[in-house]
Amino acid sequence: MRRKYLALLASIICGSAGCSETAPPEWPKECVGRLQLALPGEADQGAYLFKDLIVDREKYGGWASTVFFDGQHDGWTAFSISHITHPLTHPEKQLVAREFQKIVDRATKFHKSKVVFLPVNKQHGQAWAVTNRDIGLDVIVNDSVFLWGNATSSDTEFVLAKEKLNRLINGLRPRTLFDVPSEPGLCLPYVFIPDGGQEKHAIAMTYRLKEHPDITVNLKSETAKATPKAGADIRQDSVTNDFRTDTFWGTVTAPGNLKSARSIWHLPARQSIQLAGCPGQETFLAVVRNDSAEEDYIYLSVARGNPDAPEAAPDIRFFVEQQRENAIKRGITPLTQDEVLKLARQIAASVGPRQGK
**What are the pLDDT digits (tens) for 299-345?**
999 999 999 999 999 999 999 999 999 999 999 999 999 999 999 99
What pLDDT score was predicted for residue 168? 96
For residue 179, give the amino acid letter: D
Kindly give the interhelix angle for 337-350 and 2-17, rounded to the nearest 10 degrees: 40
pLDDT confidence band for 19 (50 / 70 / 90): low
Please say if the pLDDT value at position 60 is more than 80.
no
What pLDDT score was predicted for residue 15? 44
234 or 281, which is more confident: 281
Question: Which residues fall within 8 angstroms of residue 327, CB to CB, at 6 or more apart?
Answer: 212, 213, 214, 333, 334, 335
Please say if the pLDDT value at position 9 is more than 50.
no
| Cα–Cα distance measured from residue 200 to residue 105, given in angstroms and rounded to the nearest whole number | 30
Overall average pLDDT of the 200-214 stretch: 97
Mean pLDDT, the chain, rounded, equals: 91
| % of the chain exceeding 70 in pLDDT | 92
Residues in the chain: 357
Would you call the peptide bond into 279 cis, given omega within 30 degrees of 0 as the criterion? Answer: no
**What are the pLDDT digits (tens) for 262-295?**
999 998 999 999 999 999 999 999 999 999 999 9
Overall average pLDDT of the 65-72 stretch: 94
Q: How far does Cα 317 stand from its chain's mean position?
A: 9
Domain layout of the chain by residue ranges: 87-171
| Cα–Cα distance measured from residue 287 to residue 32, given in angstroms and rounded to the nearest whole number | 27
Helices and strands (H, E) in the chain, number of each type: 8, 20
Whole-structure pTM over 0.85, yes or no?
yes
Helix, strand, or coil (residue 275): strand
pLDDT confidence band for 356 (50 / 70 / 90): low
Please say if the pLDDT value at position 237 is more than 90.
no
Residue 209 β-bridge partners? 43
Please say if the pLDDT value at position 1 is more than 60.
no
Please say if the pLDDT value at position 220 is more than 60.
yes
